[in-house]
Structure 1
């Protein structure tokens, strides 16, 4: 029995690669110095980022990056080729705040905007959100500020555009 579209999703899965980014760990933050992001090759040494970065600043889902491949076959990002126009924001619930350590509660508060996002782990419930270029940036931007002011969470702007800054 053939499942319509199944071949396409398998083919897309096979084409994904992991592109690694190196950075200096921030004091008081997670001790990592690299992050691997799933990407789809769009050229011999370029790929489109397919997930939201938790740690790497200046990158958003959909950005096209250039990479080099080392002798072990690991793809290392070396620069951005084309931004997607999207933004990355990160939200970390205040452990003793009204949402507790719940990534699900963060998602619930942000649900009205229909943003894609994922949680880092249960132990460290950091939620990274993908804010597409066509989102209502003024409303989206207001919610993390409101939540931080209310003591629900801390948030940071991992990658923002001029349109985000102007909103």
Structure 2
């Protein structure tokens, strides 16, 4: 398997909706991604706060005024699943996504 070098990757910005409980604790998250075309990238890490996204998913991007790639939507799911652990409750969240 080919290992990606960070020099082959770019950072992509994802806007987050912060709820009334102030979760997540940030209004945006950036993730490493491999450029597939000027408007298409493949996510290359596991998100901390972006829900419904996994490593390997392909995402459409546009550039903001500063040239930063900003995710707009998922183009293709990689087929992975994600689960969220609720540390306060001590169980796996019901928010699972099956991309396959």
With the length of structure 2 as denominator, give the TM-score of the two structures. Answer: 0.81
**RMSD between aligned alpha carbons?**
2.3
Asked whether the 8 Å contact 1:59–1:159 carries over to 2, the reply is no
How many residue pairs get aligned? The number is: 98
Match runs of 1:101-140 below 5 Å: none
TM-score, length-scaled by structure 1: 0.51
Rounded Cα–Cα distance in structure 1 between residues aligned with 2:77 and 2:48: 17
Unaligned runs of 5+ in 2: none
Which residue pairs with 1:63 in the alignment?
57
Within the candidate set 36, 43, 55, 1:42 is matched to 36
SS at match of 1:42: strand
Structure number with bigger Rg:
1
2:11 matched residue in structure 1: 18
User: Secondary structure, in 3 states, of the residue corresponding to 2:7?
Assistant: helix
CA deviations over 1:93-137 (Å, ceiling 9, x no partner):
34xxxxxxxxxxxxxxxxxxxxxxxxxxxxxxxxxxxxxxxxxxx
For residue 65 of structure 1, report the CA deviation from its aligned partner: 0.2
Q: Are the counterparts in 1 of residues 77 and 99 from structure 2 also a CA contact under 8 Å?
A: no
Over 3 Å counting, the alpha-carbon distance change for 1:162 and 1:72 in structure 2 is closer
Please give the per-residue CA displacement for 1:33-83, whole angstroms capped at 9, x wherever unaligned. 111111111111111101111111121111000101122121100111110
